[in-house]
Amino acid sequence: MPERRPHLDSVTFSALVDTAGSEIAEGIRRAEVVTGHHPTSGTIREDGFRSFLRSLLSEKYFVGTGFAFDAHDQQSLQLDIVIAMDPPFVKVFERDGFCLLPCEVVLAVIEVKKVLSLNELRQCLKNAASLRALQPFGDQRFAPGRSHGAVASPDEHRCFYGVVALSSDLTQEAWAQKEWERVKKVAAETGVPTDVVDRILVLDRGVINTREGRALEGTDNVKRNIFEWFIHLSNHLDRESRRRRQLNINIYSGGQQWTTLQ
């Protein structure tokens, strides 16, 4: 039976949440401010958001952009922001601003969009599915999120996949329901489950839990919604980094045999 916890309404904590939410929202907006017609605006936006995350997260995490791969030479599609345990040989895995990381160190991925549209959503689910298909440690898997205190098996690993957008091309009225219907439509089209994405955060609308089909929305709660999203990401990173076993790079080396010299 899941643990029952009290739910109190602390005025002090509410004030702290509002302040933190405002700071995070402003940081995201600063990271999103680019010239609309700049040919590399997407890259600038992602760079800004990566820098912003580095300022918020512990230094023990690596934050980059690029791809993840496994020992079977499967490779993900390009990922906007990758948050990973500081990998061994980090200088080897990152070149010219792009990283190519063993999937065993990848903890979270965030896609950054100016306006969330059907095409952008379709690409996000494809990217998430390409990550979910990788096999950590050679014979294990990335699993969907758990709920109600369920315990993960040792061969199941979690990689948070989130989408952050400044706005959506859907109308404000009943936005969350319409966005959720669009997620389900794209999932059916692409043949992937909706739970390949964990959270969709749209700054001027709210946040959708795509694993459970729930939403926090309303322009009056934006700061709290943003804070809720960031706390979920932070909790995931802390929990998964502690349970994820250390990468043994030898699984990628082909098991070469040493000979005994006489």
Cα(253)–Cα(26) distance, rounded to whole angstroms?
Answer: 45
**Single pTM value for the model:** 0.85
> What radius of gyration do the chain's Cα atoms show?
19
Both tokens assigned to 80: 């906007």
CB 137 within 8 A of CB 166: no
CB 225 within 8 A of CB 97: no
DSSP β-ladder status, 106-116 and 160-168? parallel
Look at residues 218, 198, 221, 193 and name the one whose alpha carbon lies nearest to residue 209. 198
Both tokens assigned to 88: 């061994």
pLDDT 10s per residue in the chain (262 long)?
455 556 666 777 667 767 766 776 677 666 655 434 344 445 555 677 788 788 888 889 999 999 999 999 999 999 999 999 987 776 678 777 789 999 999 999 999 888 999 999 999 999 999 999 999 999 999 998 876 556 668 889 999 999 998 889 999 899 999 999 999 999 999 999 999 999 999 988 899 999 889 998 876 677 778 888 888 899 999 999 999 988 888 888 776 777 899 8
Q: Which residue has the tokens 């709210």?
A: 206
